[in-house]
Amino acid sequence: MKTVKPSVKNIYATPDAMRAIERAGRVCYRSDGKTTRHSAAPFVKRLIENGHESILEHATASFRVVTDRGVSHEIVRHRLSSFAQESTRFCNYTKKKFGGNILFIKPAGLTPQQEDDWLAFCERSERLYFNWISQGASPQQARHILPISLKTELVWTANFREWRTILKQRLSTAAHPHMQFVAGKIYDWFLKKYPIMVFDIVNLDAYYGKEKMLLLSKNHKTSKKELWQLAFAKEEEVRINVAKNKTTPTTLLHVLAKDLMEKVQKAALCAIGKRRKKVEQNEDFG
């Protein structure tokens, strides 16, 4: 047996997603004539602020997720998504292409004794699986002795509106640690690629850690909500400068992400980023 770490990788997104959303949204208002090179991000932001989020469904993103079977059962409960998952009915783990090992993902937060017990259980289940297959059992029969820690891979596709719903739910501290990890990686991708999609998801306690956000508020003498408002104020400042040809065109998605991430990174250096930093550096996640 071997243990592997969970991972998330984006494998597809609607090309020029902000522009695709804008084109669809402007049909509603017959405002096609207002489209400019830099109009997409502000337009999408207004859609979100006005609750007109059905337009966000015109863009999708797909991620290849490596996790355990237990977390995959939570993932597939998001009904407005599409999935393609590694099949334990048709994947025969005794075959050469699987390297002679069954892969497992270690649960988070185990004590040393619990980890020893878990490893012993996984090793035994692997031996039994190989024995059953050698005795003529099919993979769909032998899979019943494999634990929920079994590693699985799936492709998870959803539209941008649904991704916003997923992130609001799964970044919660009440979510399973591995589920929070998956959601955090997807959040990272949106924050880097399309930060306008998550600008109002103020679940920063869960994602960055409550201690970090308290520090940010203290250092800047402002609340979390006001931190976001400051970022929006910078957006307006940039727009004015662009209009006056005082700077190169920069939209909210660059300003907001860069400004907020710099503040968060500074806070992390103060050794107060216990929650998110622990999740990222925990050996269970890598």
Cα separation, 157 vs 62, whole angstroms: 4
The amino acid at 221: K
For 115-152, write each residue's pLDDT tens digit.
999 999 999 999 999 999 999 999 999 999 999 999 99
Which of 157, 170, 240, 237 has the alpha carbon at shortest distance from 198? 170
pLDDT at 263: 52
Based on the fold, state whether residues 88 and 155 are members of the same structural domain. Answer: yes
Q: Which ranges of the chain have pLDDT less than 50?
A: 203-209, 211-213, 215-217, 220, 222, 224, 231-232, 234-235, 238-242, 245-257, 264-265, 267-276, 279, 286
Cα separation, 175 vs 235, whole angstroms: 33
Structural domain that includes position 61? 2-179
pLDDT at 285: 53
Based on the fold, state whether residues 49 and 125 are members of the same structural domain. Answer: yes
Cα separation, 171 vs 210, whole angstroms: 13
Angle between helix 252-269 and helix 40-49 axes, rounded to 10 deg: 70
Based on the fold, state whether residues 71 and 138 are members of the same structural domain. Answer: yes
Of the residues 179, 213, 248, which one is the last residue of a structural domain?
A: 179
Neighbours of 89 (CB within 10 A): 10
User: Considering the domain boundaries, does residue 72 fall inside one?
Assistant: yes
Q: List Cβ neighbours of 281 (8 Å cut-off, separation of 6 or more).
A: none
Based on the fold, state whether residues 267 and 134 are members of the same structural domain. Answer: no
The amino acid at 61: A
73 exposure class (CB count in 10 Å sphere: 0-12, 13-18, 19+): exposed
Cα separation, 174 vs 171, whole angstroms: 8
Cα separation, 104 vs 26, whole angstroms: 48
User: Considering the domain boundaries, does residue 194 fall inside one?
Assistant: no
Q: Record the tokens describing residue 238, joined without a space.
A: 């940039």
